[in-house]
Structures are given as structure tokens and as C-alpha cells.
Amino acid sequence: MAERVPINPGRVEWSGDNPGIYLKHAADGPFVTLSLFFRVVLSPHGRGTAMLILGAPEDARGWPHAPNAFITDNQQLGRYLIDAFVVNMPTFRGKAGLTAATFLPLTAASTLGDPRSRYTERVQSHDLVAEMTWDELGVPFAVEVNADQSATGTHEMYSVFVEAKAASVTLAGARFGGQVVNRQLFGRTISTAFLAFSETWVKPGR
């Protein structure tokens, strides 16, 4: 095993929580719902909270014409997260709905439940309510990936994952279709609904 270096020489890009839910109708079909939540405690653009919901990932329209929305209390941070990170993630790469998602101001946010069993992140943009709920949560485990293993392909990433066997996403009271499926990630079979706490993205220093 390689030796651990206590002080990472890389440049910290951002840090916070970054859970997600990706749903399919069939295990061998396309994703029909993609959603990510961000609670960022440190970034080049300050702190902030954001929820990305693509209820129609292949539709090049945003809310209210299609259920594709990005609700955030820090628009500059949101743009940075989308342009520098999310567009590079394999699950989101090339999705027309991501480019078209309407940026909306976050007016309220709350965390409900317990990360050991059932957990919900809820955000509001005025009267519009969006919720992500993770259910049947498992045992947490730590991941630490090199640049060639990470979702962007250029960052090292640390996180604590908690896998959910069931999950749901709602926008304006409507629950999106699809269900959690399994995928191969980090050499393990992991569901497509996960809590991700204490996540830090680092640009390698050498």
C-alpha cells in the first residue's frame, strides 16, 4: 500500500456536502431523473446551498417549460459548480437539460430526517418546493480517489458516502419517475442514490 502523505500539496477547490439521486425506469435504460444537492462550506465563490433537478435530462428546456431547474442562494457559486464540475461528470455529460436548467433564487432550505435511516433535503424558490429524499440508508464509508478515478478526471476527491436503497425527487409536488439502480463505482456495486458528506475536491499539486 502506498504511504499516506499527511499534508496534501494540492489546491483545494471546494468542500461541503454533495448527495445525489439518479433514477431509471429500467436498469439498462437511460437516466430519467438526475438530481444533486450542494451544501458548500468553502469555495472560491464563498459558501452556499444549491439543488439541481433534471426531471427531463434530455429536454433542452428549463423550468417552467420543462422540469429542469437549479435553485441556489449563490448564483456565482452555482455557475462555478455547474461549469467546472457537473458538466464533466459522466452521468451529466452532454445532457441538454443541464445546459438549459433555469437558475432560480433559493429562498429557504431545510434538512429533515436522519442520515442513518431516512433523510431529506428541501429547498424553496418562493412558492416552488423541491425535495430529495433518501431511504433505506446503509453504513457510511469513506472514499478517497485519485484524479484518474474521480468524476471530473482532474481532481482528487475525498468524501463519506451513505448508500440509499430507495429514493425520490419531487418538484412542485410532482414526484419524478424512475427508481434507484445499481452501478459499479470505486470497484464496488453501489446504488445511484447516495448521501455524500464532508466532500473535498482538490486540484493535484504535482
Q: How far is the CB of 177 from another protein (least distance, A)?
A: 29
d(CA 200, CA 184): 21
Looking at beta carbons only, is 99 or 146 nearer to another protein? 146
Looking at beta carbons only, is 103 or 158 nearer to another protein? 158
**Does residue 99 sit in helix, strand or coil?**
helix
Looking at beta carbons only, is 18 or 125 nearer to another protein? 18
What are the two backbone dihedrals, phi and then psi, of residue 30, each rounded to the nearest 5 degrees?
-80, 160
Q: How far is the CB of 88 from another protein (least distance, A)?
A: 18
Residue among 38, 27, 4 nearest 201 (CA): 38
Looking at beta carbons only, is 37 or 63 nearer to another protein? 37
d(CA 81, CA 188): 26
Q: How far is the CB of 107 from another protein (least distance, A)?
A: 18
**Residues contributing to the site for another protein (CB under 8 A):** 1-10, 12, 15-17, 41-44, 46-47, 111, 114-116, 139-146, 149, 156-158, 160, 162, 186-188, 195, 197-200, 202, 204
Residue among 85, 68, 83, 72 nearest 33 (CA): 68
Q: How far is the CB of 44 from another protein (least distance, A)?
A: 7
Q: How far is the CB of 188 from another protein (least distance, A)?
A: 6
C-alpha cell at 166: 430507495
Neighbours of 150 (CB within 10 A): 18
d(CA 192, CA 58): 18
Looking at beta carbons only, is 4 or 27 nearer to another protein? 4
Looking at beta carbons only, is 66 or 137 nearer to another protein? 137
How far is the CA of 113 from the CAs of 12, 117, 122, 134, 206, in angstroms? Answer: 30, 8, 11, 10, 41
Q: How far is the CB of 78 from another protein (least distance, A)?
A: 16
